[in-house]
Amino acid sequence: MIKSKVTHTDIVKFDEQSPVSAVFAGSTGRVFGMTLAMSIDPVEALRVEATSCRVRVLTQRHTSPTVLDDVVERSDIIENIKNINVETTEKYNEFLANDVLAERNFTIASVINLYSEDLAYNYEMRDILTVTRSLPELDVATIKSKTGKKFIRSATQILPDKTFTYSDMEVFFDRPNMPVDLVMFRSLLATFAKQAPFFQKTLSDVMHYPFPVNDTLAMYRDNRTCPYAESIQGVGLSYLSDEDFRLPLAVDVDTDVDPFFVLDSKPGGGAGPRGVGGAIDQPDPQDVPVSPFSTLSTAYGYLTAYNDGEPEDIFVSKRQLKRLPFRQKFTVVAKKQVPRNVTVEALLMNKNGVIVSKLTKDVNLIPLMVDSSRPMIPPDVTVGMATGDDQTDSLMVTMVQRDIMANKVQLLVKESTTLPFSDLGVYDLVHSEELTLKILSNEIVELVTVRVVALTNKGRTSSAFSDIVWQAGGGTVSESYDGVPKQSNPQKTTGLIAMARPLIRDDGLFDVTITTAIVSDGIATDPDASSLYGTLFCRRLNVYNGDTPGGVADEGGGTYVTDPTNPAIHLDTSPGGSFVDRGVSVGTYLYVVDAYAGDEAFVNVARSGTVYLDHLTPDKDGFVKDAVDVSYAIQSVDTVIGPKNLDVSIMYDITIPKGKRIDIALLESSVDVVLPDLSVESISLASKAPKLTDNNDGTYILNFCVAHSDMSPAMAIAAQKGALRVSKSQLVVGTFPVVSDAAAGANVDSPLVTASQRKLTPQARKRIMQRRAQRGGTDVEAGDGRGRFESEQATEAAQLEAAAAATAMIIRGGRG
Amino acid sequence: MALVRLEEDDEAYEAVEIPAMFDPDVDLKAAYSIVSPSLTKIRRISIGRNSLGEAVLRWTLDDRTSATETCIVIATFNGVTAPLGAVASIPGVSRYEFADRVLSAYVGKKTYRIAFIYYDGTVSMGDRQVSITKSSSISLGVLKWE
């Protein structure tokens, strides 16, 4: 029997704009993700009775073997024909084994089902008439020249308006005298650039504002493109604070004039021309209230304009599709290095497996990799000052790589608002890895701007960078600078921190004290900032009930902390005060503080860390009793400035019941340390080697030393000043089978012998991560490259945690 | 002023001398007070679209004094003009690129300008701008024309 087939090349097509995108992941260069954007003509597919599609990524195209070569005589032909099946099968198997990097099979109906279940059903039923008549309709946005006269008549034009997807941005464009064209207030921006570092801001931070996009237009976003738009705008938001979304009204300045009005005003106070069309009188900075410089929104306002007078011709009309776009995502793990060029093949087949349509495309991967490897998430940077044993100050810069694609950071430091950055070099740093550098200066440093840029290649730059300002004295302005007068009327701070401290009661319920504290947030310029808020209320959120901090009390926003004698009364306090939530049952909670400033309510102005109420919660004496009646408490915390390292010694009392002899392993042990501003940092003890001392009174003391290198800069500074406070300790203990002291190799009153005292150095961690990365790829999910790489990193993190758990220390104790 | 960087090591801190950019005996503030950054000029600027559908701006700066500290990308779209992002200027790097990961997905014309922030806080606006237009929210090739 001879099969005949007709192949159509236009039933499946690649997308015209972005047919293929790809991204590498992993250090081996053997793993990459690929997204293919295609469309299918369902009517034509049905006409040729196509039922399924096979998409492949190949290193080279398949060629059929020559079967009639080396023919000398008639018997050779016969022999060759006999071998056709064998040779073809062998060649095809070799092709599958060596050249097919990835393959995906799917039915045509499954693609159609993405648009319409009915259409998919009719396709399965081969009802070509119904399929032709019921092709899906969509609302499509097009510019005027691509809309067509027929459609324009029924189309809706999208006009500019100030309803934005990020509604916080609306205030900036709804102010009076908004310029229609951008006018650079250079002198004001320059003044801001010089002053902003004194408020821990930089002019470059304007990049973190989300771009205001018309809400209606956003509905017609092309979802094929810009897959990272949401995440990049979200990341930017995390660099902004509440005051960055408020118009810089002159609080405490003897005027109610909007500074933007001042900007567009003539020095005498009269309103100036609006936008272009007339000379803009740039006001003297002295005429502008100084307080606006304390918020980034000032600078943002100088770089914005709004013009609804010449709208874009964008129309939305209902259009019928003749082809159905779809995407296929692949994860490719090659046996060897992925080649520069691959071939993508889409085969449309009927129910008998006969190819009815074939589409191939040769793809050069290199430019695709470049497109997707641009860093987009800035590194996390913390800066602090530490004093060495020779009493010299040094700047501690800790950088954490947050971009998955970046593998380097470039560090630049600027020691004045009018000097250039000094380049301190490029350092290898992969995703999630942390690097701390100590920078010495032979001058007294008072104000430093640290810039860290995420890079993929040395000698290039990127838009993923962080500018962090550190100022001696905690960011307060105490003197005039560069002729700019001292800020005499500081705004009140909106900075508020909340901390929760639970205690277990005798009846098994819990009392939780929520303490608030006022902190300088960059607005306030006095060392002792006063709060903007007058009255505070507190809500308890049950995390596992799905309560959200922004929700309404009793409607998904938790419940108010109330007076135990009268539950109808919501407890309140003033900034700096405390709430006590009494009689709380076991659970996981979050405390959120709402505030009133005059009549205006502010929701979720501060929140505690997650509060776990269980048997590990300490009692009023600070003792925790675990399930095997082992109780422990922190006895003291001492800071010792060593010759090279700053150590923190944390002493525990451990009481083991008399008459019992048990072994204890410290697992996931940690101590929460409260810094002077009430922020909490956690020190893990799981990898620390404690020293055990028997007090001969039924208690033991565990002495941990936390090296300087293990502490954050802020914690190191606080420890040095003796300002640390331990809020909570968690020693998760477990019992082990009793073994003899000799076998365990541990003795009371001697340095504790640990199951493994190996501490994971940064180098070791890096090696582990590199090994994980080399092994990575098999656990990759189909999807875009960034998500896949995150999966790798998550696996690595889990393995690191497992490695840390392996260092769990066996304490042998108890009294016989 | 010479900066000394100490790198974290397994065992101890190892001091690494960073070459001083300037003579430590010179009063830098005084030295810089007489140097005013010249306005950076854009030598070339272009725009294209990459495989992810993002508009990519590429520009080359004529900035021999390395006075530019940050390039702020300012976009105009659907009536709104606002900062869209920024690229860090690094000494010795003259070629820059910025991928618009936000606006490229929206239909309509986007115009991009570059503003420069100099090390002394002064600011200027680049004298050139580029535009790119996305014509439809879905590929026109899949639509039925009646």
CATH number at residue B79: 2.60.40.10
Matching residue, tokens 């938001």: A237
Select from A140, A232, A439 the Cβ nearest to the Cβ of B138: A140
Task: List Cα–Cα distances, A288 to A27, A238, A295, A335, B89, in angstroms.
Answer: 54, 29, 14, 66, 30
pLDDT at A146: 87
Select from B52, B83, B117 the Cβ nearest to the Cβ of A226: B52
Give the gap in angstroms from C-alpha A473 to the nearest C-alpha of chain B: 22
pLDDT at B103: 94
Give the gap in angstroms from C-alpha A320 to the nearest C-alpha of chain B: 6
Sign of the Cα torsion A719, A721, A723, A725 reads: positive
CB contact under 8 A, B146 and A141: no
Task: List Cα–Cα distances, A565 to A5, A568, A583, in angstroms.
Answer: 85, 9, 11
CB contact under 8 A, B88 and A465: yes
CB contact under 8 A, B83 and A140: no
Strand, coil or helix: what is A390? coil
Q: Is B24 among the domain residues?
A: no
CA B99 to centroid of chain Cα atoms = 11
Nearest in space to B99 (alpha carbons), one of B63, B41, B47, B139: B47
Number of domain units in chain B: 1
Residue of chain B whose Cα is closest to the Cα of A466: B88
CB contact under 8 A, B74 and A303: yes
Contact B92, B135 (CB under 8 A): no
| Residue length of chain A | 816
Contact A318, A137 (CB under 8 A): yes
Q: Is B14 among the domain residues?
A: no
Asked if B54 is an interface residue toward chain A (Cβ–Cβ < 8 A), one would say: yes
High-pLDDT (> 70) share of chain B, %: 71
Q: Is B145 among the domain residues?
A: no
Phi, psi of A178, deg, nearest 5: -65, 125
Q: Which residues of A touch B31 (CB under 8 A)?
A: none
In DSSP terms, A394 is beta-bridged to A386, A440
Q: Is B9 among the domain residues?
A: no
In DSSP terms, B68 is beta-bridged to B118
List B residues 106-125 in contact with A (Cβ-Cβ < 8 A): 106-109, 113, 115, 117, 119-125
Mutate to test the interface with A, among B106, B109, B125 (most CBs of A within 10 A): B106
Q: Is B33 among the domain residues?
A: no
Asked if B60 is an interface residue toward chain A (Cβ–Cβ < 8 A), one would say: no
Residue of chain B whose Cα is closest to the Cα of A173: B80
In DSSP terms, A637 is beta-bridged to A650
Asked if B19 is an interface residue toward chain A (Cβ–Cβ < 8 A), one would say: no
CB contact under 8 A, A142 and B135: yes
CA A530 to centroid of chain Cα atoms = 32
Q: Which residues of A touch B78 (CB under 8 A)?
A: 158, 160, 213-214, 217, 311-312, 314
Asked if B48 is an interface residue toward chain A (Cβ–Cβ < 8 A), one would say: no
Contact A465, B90 (CB under 8 A): no
Q: Alpha-carbon distance B104 to B54, whole Å?
A: 5
Contact B98, B80 (CB under 8 A): no
Q: Which residues of B touch A388 (CB under 8 A)?
A: none
Confidence (pTM): 0.59
Give the gap in angstroms from C-alpha B115 to the nearest C-alpha of chain A: 9
Q: Alpha-carbon distance A189 to A205, whole Å?
A: 13
Q: Is B114 among the domain residues?
A: yes
Give the gap in angstroms from C-alpha A106 to the nearest C-alpha of chain B: 21
CB contact under 8 A, A225 and B52: yes
**pLDDT at B127 > cutoff 60:** yes
Q: Alpha-carbon distance A690 to A649, whole Å?
A: 10
Asked if B53 is an interface residue toward chain A (Cβ–Cβ < 8 A), one would say: yes
CB contact under 8 A, B143 and A322: yes
Q: Is B30 among the domain residues?
A: no
Neighbouring CB atoms inside 10 A of A740's CB total 8
Strand, coil or helix: what is A496? strand
Q: Alpha-carbon distance A59 to A342, whole Å?
A: 5
Q: Alpha-carbon distance A747 to A753, whole Å?
A: 8
Mean pLDDT per 10-residue run, chain A (816 residues)?
Answer: 58 87 67 84 91 87 61 70 74 77 86 87 89 90 88 88 88 86 84 81 91 90 78 78 68 34 30 29 39 72 89 89 87 72 89 88 87 86 72 77 87 86 88 79 75 89 90 43 31 73 83 82 53 88 78 86 87 90 86 85 80 67 54 65 56 63 53 70 68 66 69 73 62 42 30 27 45 36 31 36 31 30
| Residues A151, A153, A155: CA angle, nearest 5 degrees | 65
Domains along chain A with CATH numbers: 12-135+321-372 (2.60.40.10), 167-302 (no CATH), 380-471 (2.60.40.10), 496-613 (2.60.40), 624-812 (no CATH)
Q: Which residues of B touch A761 (CB under 8 A)?
A: 10
Residue A369 Rama label (left phi>0; alpha psi -120 to 50; beta): alpha
Q: Alpha-carbon distance A639 to A717, whole Å?
A: 11
Select from A416, A441, A461 the Cβ nearest to the Cβ of B96: A461
Q: Is B122 among the domain residues?
A: yes
Q: Which amino acid is at A342?
A: V
pLDDT at B71: 95
Q: Alpha-carbon distance A32 to A332, whole Å?
A: 5
pLDDT at A624: 56
Mutate to test the interface with B, among A14, A157, A185, A303 (most CBs of B within 10 A): A303
Kindly compute the dihedral angle of the four CA atoms of residues A585, A588, A593, A594, in this order, to the nearest 10 degrees: -90
Asked if B26 is an interface residue toward chain A (Cβ–Cβ < 8 A), one would say: no
pLDDT at B67: 85
In DSSP terms, A632 is beta-bridged to A624, A654
CB contact under 8 A, B120 and A418: yes
Residue-number span of the structural domain to which B109 is assigned: 39-136
Asked if B30 is an interface residue toward chain A (Cβ–Cβ < 8 A), one would say: no
Q: Alpha-carbon distance A687 to A707, whole Å?
A: 12
Task: List the beta strands (DSSP E) in A281-354.
Answer: 305-306, 314-320, 324-333, 341-350
Q: Which residues of A touch B137 (CB under 8 A)?
A: 140-142, 220-222
Q: Alpha helix (H) ranges present in A327-458? A: 365-372
pLDDT at A371: 86
pLDDT at A39: 92
pLDDT at B106: 93
Q: Alpha-carbon distance A592 to A537, whole Å?
A: 8
Task: List the beta strands (DSSP E) in B12-107.
Answer: 14-17, 41-49, 55-62, 68-77, 80-88, 95-100
The pair of structure tokens assigned to B1 is 């002023």
- pLDDT: is B57 or A288 the higher one? B57
Give the gap in angstroms from C-alpha A362 to the nearest C-alpha of chain B: 14
Nearest in space to A209 (alpha carbons), one of B84, B114, B57, B76: B84
Indicate the angle between helix axes A762-775 and A785-805, nearest 10 degrees: 130
pLDDT at B91: 84
Give the gap in angstroms from C-alpha A439 to the nearest C-alpha of chain B: 5
Q: Which residues of A touch B77 (CB under 8 A)?
A: 211, 213
CB contact under 8 A, A217 and B108: yes
pLDDT at A6: 54
Asked if B79 is an interface residue toward chain A (Cβ–Cβ < 8 A), one would say: yes
Q: Which residues of A touch B86 (CB under 8 A)?
A: 204, 206-207, 463, 465
